[in-house]
Amino acid sequence: MLASVIGCLRFTWAGVLDFQWASYKLVYGFLLCLQIVLGLSFTWVASFGRGWFALWVCLIVYCEGGHFSLLPVLFKRLFGSMATKAYGIAFSYAGLSSCLILLVVKLMG
């Protein structure tokens, strides 16, 4: 439940772009680095107890939500008036990749 509440704060990632010092590359780069560190340390943190595990899950959900709030801004800057169509095409690949991951897991397991 806490992760879903934290996930609702994902719009803070896009809000940071309103500051003069915050370029898209800086904010998105920080998001990616944070997500990499969280992902690599996920199993290690689980050994410290349920509280740390819950915190890591909340932070991972927060980072995942950051992609969905930052990518529309990027698409608008890159594609201008065609941003909606480009985002629709790019977003459809999330579902396709999920199906492929399911297939790979089934074949390997």
3-state secondary structure 20-83: CCCCHHHHHHHHHHHHHHHHHCHHHHHCCCHHHHHHHHHHHHHHHHHHHHHHHHHHHHHHHHHH
Which residues neighbour 54 within 8 Å (Cβ) at sequence distance 6 or greater?
A: 2, 3
pTM of the model: 0.71
The predicted pLDDT at position 40 comes to: 92
Tens-digit pLDDT profile for the chain (109 aa)?
A: 777 777 777 778 878 877 888 888 888 899 999 999 999 998 899 899 999 999 999 898 888 888 888 888 888 888 999 998 998 888 888 788 888 988 998 898 7
Segments making up each domain of the chain, as ranges = 2-108
Q: How far apart are CA 79 and CA 68, in angstroms?
A: 17
Q: Please, is 13 exposed, middle or buried when counting C-beta atoms within 10 Å of its C-beta (0-12, 13-18, 19+)?
A: buried
